[in-house]
Chains A and B, each alone.
Chain A
Amino acid sequence: MSKDLNSLVGKPWKKPPFIQRGWLRWSLVLGFAVYMVAAVLTIEVNWARVYEGLERGKQFILAFTSPDFASRSGDIWDGMLESIIMTVAASVVGIGISIPIALGAARNVAPLPVYLICRGIIAISRALQEIIVAILLVAIFGFGPLAGFLTLSFATIGFLSKLLAEDIESMDKVQAEAIKASGAHWGQWINYGIQPQVMPRLIGLSMYRIDINFRESAILGLVGAGGIGATLNTAFDRYEYDTAAAILLIIIVIVMALEYLSGIIRERVQ
């Protein structure tokens, strides 16, 4: 130790490197640099087109200062209402379905076969993205909010069941055992031993998922699954930036309001 110290005295201190092995550090840095060069080179940017576009970009940013809520108010209202309806219905159904699946996907509640089936459902639902599910469901069920509603419900199941199952798995066993010892049957065991422990988390997650569902419902319209997305797409296609800005502002305000609300509710239940 003292020998180490003697040899170090007089030399300025240097930060120890993040990765100790020199060759690994340098090969990682080099590999990253090579990848970056290759990636940047393969991106074709038409700078003339970008330069032309800057004018439109400026117009769009200016449109945010004077959004046009009035001239397409009917379309905006209908689209928003449809988005909200889809969000509410899909959240209710999705949460309703995901609670039993979450119970099935918790190893300390469910037997192994049920566990594997429920985990499989969760994995499928999480791997497929909303927009791809929406495309398939629109092809199967036709245009309209039903496809969007089913998409959002399906996506909710994967998200909520996984996180809820993790919470059930990490719960306090003692309470559940106490309920069981009092002679409760399975339903009472779930209702009084487990449910009170995971309820705060379930409410918090549900609020968060409603927030996500609303945001997602705004894009489902791009593929014909109902909601504000179709109106927004039309506004962009017709270069009506002031209407598009109005829609985006409404989305931002609703998301902010939901986030604020969910913050209050989560604080109260936790």
Chain B
Amino acid sequence: MPVQDVQGQKVWQRRTGRESLFHWLLWLAGIAVFAYCWQQISNATTWFFVWDAPSIAGDIWRRATPPKWEYITQLGEPIWDTLNIATLGTIIALFLAVPVAFLAARNTTPSTLFIRPIALLIIVSTRSINSLIWALLLIAIIGPGVFAGVIAIAIRSIGFCAKLLYEAIEEIDHTQVEAITATGASRWQVMAYGIVPQILPAFAGIAVFRWDINIRESTVLGLVGAGGIGLQLSASLNVLAWPQVALILLVILAAVVISEWVSAKVRGAII
């Protein structure tokens, strides 16, 4: 136990001298890095605008309130599109994620040496790129519209769903699988009766959870032209129609809250 001698009295300390020196150096390095980062940000900022910010914010607030309520009649179709992008994207992603997850899980993959790394690479690369970037890319390839949004959401969700699913597959109880195998079941029957029932609750939970996230993401996909309510948002922002922007933001907020509520209810019912 590290003890310090203060005027003949022993006082408890949390760390030894060397440890506290090391901690001190670590903190120093961290603060130096942060200071450098802050300096860079500060150099790239026009501080005049920042000092002016409160009045600008007040100005925007005055223009945005009250929201233009009658504009809601034009938002029905974009909301429907947004819902479709999220739902269809999630369904496509789940269809693609299931085989990837089975190939990536250590206990079901046909080959740990070749196929597993490929499956993991698919998971990492689809997961690390945001759906807006996928949408940007798909718009360049297949043109703007809802379809690009659906595919973008689908690709982005593959990695997420497959990662959670393969972790669930790796955690299954092996005795059940062995019991099914002992009855003389074929490889596919073992899959259907030994593994699938064990991961089904996890699968349903993942599906609803991802759907919730996808609703959030699909509301902004329109900013790059991939359909949904984001299109209206960017159009309103471009003409500085702040009352419309305020209404759209309220609608997006409502959609996010409702989808989160639905997903929490469904997950509560399943698990």
Residues of A bordering B, CB below 8 Å: 35, 39-40, 42-46, 49-50, 53-54, 56-57, 60, 81-82, 85-86, 88-89, 92, 127-129, 131-132, 135-136, 139-142, 144-146, 149, 215-216, 218-219, 222-223, 226, 229, 232-233, 236, 239, 244, 248, 251-252, 255-256, 259
Give the CA-CA distance A216 to B216 in the complex, in Å.
14
From the candidates B37, B38, B128, name the one contacting A252 in the complex (CB within 8 A). B128
Q: How far in angstroms is the closest Cβ of chain A from B78?
A: 12
B56: nearest chain-A partner, CB-CB: A140
Q: Given A82-B40, A215-B129, 20 more contacts at CB 8 Å? A: A42-B84, A43-B147, A50-B147, A53-B141, A53-B143, A60-B141, A88-B33, A88-B37, A129-B220, A129-B252, A140-B53, A149-B41, A215-B128, A215-B130, A218-B130, A226-B44, A236-B137, A252-B125, A255-B124, A256-B128
CB within 8 Å for A53 and B124 given contacts A85-B41, A142-B50: no
Closest 3 A/B residue pairs (Cβ): A255-B128, A142-B49, A89-B37
Smallest CB separation, B258 vs chain A (Å): 11
Assembly CA distance A39 to B82 (angstroms): 10
- Nearest A-chain residue to B150, judged by Cβ: A43
Which residues on the A side are within 8 Å of B233 (C-beta)?
132
Contacting A60 at CB < 8 Å: which of B137, B143, B146, B217? B137
What residues on A are CB-neighbors of B172 within 8 Å? none
Which residues of chain B in 200-233 are interfacial with respect to chain A, using CB atoms and an 8 Å cutoff? Answer: 216-217, 219-220, 223-224, 233
- With A127-B256, A141-B53, A222-B223 given, is the CB distance from A49 to B137 under 8 Å? no
Q: Which residues of B contact A54 (CB under 8 A)?
A: 141
Sampled A-B contacts (22; CB under 8 Å): A39-B84, A43-B146, A45-B145, A46-B143, A49-B143, A50-B143, A57-B141, A82-B44, A85-B37, A89-B38, A89-B41, A129-B220, A129-B256, A131-B223, A136-B60, A140-B53, A140-B60, A218-B129, A218-B133, A226-B44, A236-B137, A251-B129
